[in-house]
Structure 1
Amino acid sequence: QNKTNRHSWLIYFKRNVQYKFPGWFLQWWDFFGPIEEILPAPADEGFKIFKSMYDNQNTWIPADLQFFSSFSLSWIHSWKYKFGKAQHPLQPHPLQINSYVKWWNLFDASN
């Protein structure tokens, strides 16, 4: 635990690895995975081309997961705990988790 109640993970896929994702991984991906909006321009252009050519009819792996794992892309998932507003003065304040994803700026997306 840290003083700001903020935590983060740098998440990446290793290069030159053939991944076989288990079924539970899709749920993990939906929560911790990146979103298209964080991609810098070179990676976003590449993703648009990749997505237009991706055959999602013959696989259960979404295009974004295949793209990030195939090109060993990195991102940061962070979350912060905070207390929300109680609905009544005698009730405890609810604990809330705010999650964020962002591009890892030290990653060279031009490759």
Structure 2
Amino acid sequence: MLYYQPFDHSWFIWFKKDFPLKFPLWFVKWFHEWGPEGNIYPDFAAIAFESFSSRINVPDHLKVLAFHATFGISWITSWTFKKELSIPNSNTFWIVRSIRIKWWNKFNPDLIKAQVLQDWFNKNPKCLVPKEVAEKEEEFLAEKSKFLADLSSSTNKKEFLKKLQVAISESDINNDEDSGDSSQSLTRDNGDDCYGIIDLQD
């Protein structure tokens, strides 16, 4: 971290290159409070993140952290102080911290281009969603697309509901083995850290 602009408490944050994807749980909590969100990404980063998140085998809430740590992606976090009413319709104010997180505009897009991601996927097969799971997800997305197209072609409410009922009756909901859970375990396996450690490459 660098104290980027001291006059407005602005911090420049990035991960060291080849950072191991192993974090104490207190850091995961810190990242969710001070780290980036997908809505700050420019188009090239949003495309890279979508590709990465569809392949990496970690829970959804850890994918942004894994993305930034894997490719050393920087961001800027800043805060200022402002007045805020403590109770509505009163004259009592709190001094609160207003936090802003933004993309670093000088980030080099080549660091997360498609070939760089593919090279990482090739070198780290253990970190990826198993092939059969990925194929199942691809099949589901194709079926979903076909189903939505069929529904959108309905000309009235009665036809729409009939198609919906047919689709539900044809689907094997009760025998769906896809629990939607990642195989990643959030175990507390570090005796030196009361918060535990999460290893995204395990």
**Does the TM-score normalized on the shorter chain lie above 0.5?**
yes
Question: So what's the TM-score if we normalise by structure 2?
Answer: 0.47
- Which structure has greater helix proportion? 2
Provide the C-alpha distance between the structure 2 equivalents of 1:19 and 1:52, rounded to a whole number of angstroms: 17
Q: String of CA shifts for 1:44-85, please: whole Å, max 9, x gaps.
A: 11100111112126xx97111000000000000011101223
Paired amino acid for 1:31: E
TM-score normalized with structure 1 length? 0.81
Higher RCO (CA < 8 A, seq sep 6+): 1
2:16 counterpart residue number? 14
Structure 1 unaligned segments of length 5 or more: list them: none
- What is the match of residue 30 of structure 2? 28
Contact 1:6/1:81, CA 8 A, preserved across alignment: no
Structure 2 alignment gaps of length 5 or more: 1-6, 112-202
Provide the identity percentage.
Answer: 33
Task: Give the partner amino acid of 1:43.
Answer: A
Q: 1:14 to 1:82 in 2, by over 3 A?
A: same
RMSD in angstroms over aligned alpha carbons?
2.0
Please say if residues 82 and 96 of structure 1, whose CA atoms lie closer than 8 Å, have aligned partners that are also in contact: yes
Q: For residues 70 and 86 of structure 2, what CA distance do their matches in structure 1 show?
A: 45
Seen in structure 2, the aligned counterparts of structure 1 residues 86 and 51 have a Cα distance that, compared at 3 Å, is closer
Counterpart CA distance in 2 for 1:34 and 1:8 is 14
Q: Matched residue pairs, number?
A: 103
Tell me the residue number matched to 2:55. 53
Is 1:94 the counterpart of 2:94? The answer is yes
Q: Is the 8 A contact 1:43 1:110 kept in 2?
A: no
Residues 21 and 66, structure 2, Cα contact 8 Å, conserved in 1: no
Give the structure with the larger strand fraction: 1
Deviates more, 1:33-42 or 1:71-80: 33-42
Give SS of 2:85's match.
coil
In structure 2, distance between residues paired with 1:101 and 1:6: 13
